[in-house]
Amino acid sequence: MKFAVLSDLHIQYENPVCRLDEYYETVCRKLEWVRETIGWDTPLLIAGDIFDTGKPRNLLKMHGDVCRVLDGCKTIYGNHDLSFRADSYLQETAYAALDRAIHCHMDRVVDFGEYEIHPFNFGHEIEHERSVYGKPMIAISHQFVYKEKPPFDAGVQALHLLTKFPEYAIILTGDNHQHFSEIYDGRLLLNNGSLMRMTSAQRIYQPVVTVIDGDKVTEIPIPIVYDMVTDRHIVYNNDKILSRDTMLAYMELVRNADNETYDFTSNLLHKILDMPDSMTKSLLMEIYEELKEEV
């Protein structure tokens, strides 16, 4: 049986600070490319975080496009799909509105062709379960899974899940935005990673859609434009901090200068005019003008 896997779409109408394109248009375009590439009739499983927030603004503007590109998909909800990360608020979320429109949500065991899917939505870690339909079992979960060394004191290692839950032929996970897979005793754990590059740390990250067809697993790279993700906001912030520190150092130097010819503001202007750094010079000139007015 052939089917495909995605995770962590993080659909939103607002632009992440690292992105230079129109984020919402890009995510819809990528999803349409995925559906056309794998075939619109190929079942697509998505392991949570369909939306970036439980109640995104401009939902009405997003709803039609999202329903179209996700029609026929099967999903679970992730932590970002919930308001306050609590499933008691599920019915008021964008995720629930999407489910009411295209019936995508899995909250119980699903007969899935040659398989049966056991969903574990956010807040419900994978558990031991028995087959309902007598078919190979797929567990799909939105919980933090790592491949090797844990980045912090949370989550679970992929190999641990494969050894602990031998009843599942395939385990699909979301939440960790990095793509990786693990095979143990002929069984597969796949963490497909995020569809979009959400931060500047993912500038060189290559998103993929994974197609599983029997024993064959194919990773299909999703086209990206590398220059659409930038770290310039980080560089600017670092430069701003450096300029502020430099400014304070110059002000202290001018204040303590042994020069009877100039008063403090005159000394400050003298130092500013000799500065090579334009950002620091601009900040200091603003302070100089304010000081001059007070004098």
Per-residue pLDDT, 151: 61
User: What span, in angstroms and rounded, lies between the C-alpha atoms of 118 and 120?
Assistant: 7
Q: From start to end of 192-267, where are the E strands? A: 208-213, 216-221
Per-residue pLDDT, 166: 98
Which pTM value belongs to this model? 0.78
Per-residue pLDDT, 283: 74
Are residue 157 and residue 240 in the same domain, yes or no? no
Looking up residue 130, the CATH number of its domain turns out to be 3.60.21.10
Structure tokens at 194: 């995020």
Per-residue pLDDT, 247: 59
Are residue 85 and residue 129 in the same domain, yes or no? yes
User: What span, in angstroms and rounded, lies between the C-alpha atoms of 34 and 41?
Assistant: 12
Residue with tokens 């690292």: 18
Long-range pairs, 87-92, Cβ under 8 A, ≥24: 87/121, 87/122, 87/123, 89/54, 92/54, 92/55
Are residue 19 and residue 113 in the same domain, yes or no? yes
Per-residue pLDDT, 260: 47
Instruction: Work out the end-to-end distance of the chain between its first and last CA atoms, rounded to an integer number of angstroms.
Output: 81
Per the structure, the count of domains in the chain is 2
Are residue 17 and residue 52 in the same domain, yes or no? yes
Per-residue pLDDT, 235: 45
User: What span, in angstroms and rounded, lies between the C-alpha atoms of 84 and 168?
Assistant: 31
List the chain residues with pLDDT less than 50: 233-239, 260-261
CB 121 within 8 A of CB 76: yes
Are residue 132 and residue 237 in the same domain, yes or no? no
Domain residues for the domain of 32 are 2-228
Are residue 10 and residue 140 in the same domain, yes or no? yes
Per-residue pLDDT, 87: 83
Which residues contact residue 88 at a Cβ distance below 8 angstroms, ignoring those fewer than 6 apart?
none
* pLDDT, tens digit, 9 for 90 and up, residues 185-244: 999 999 999 999 988 788 889 999 999 999 999 999 999 988 888 765 444 444 455 555
- Among residues 177, 201, 228, the one where a domain terminates is 228
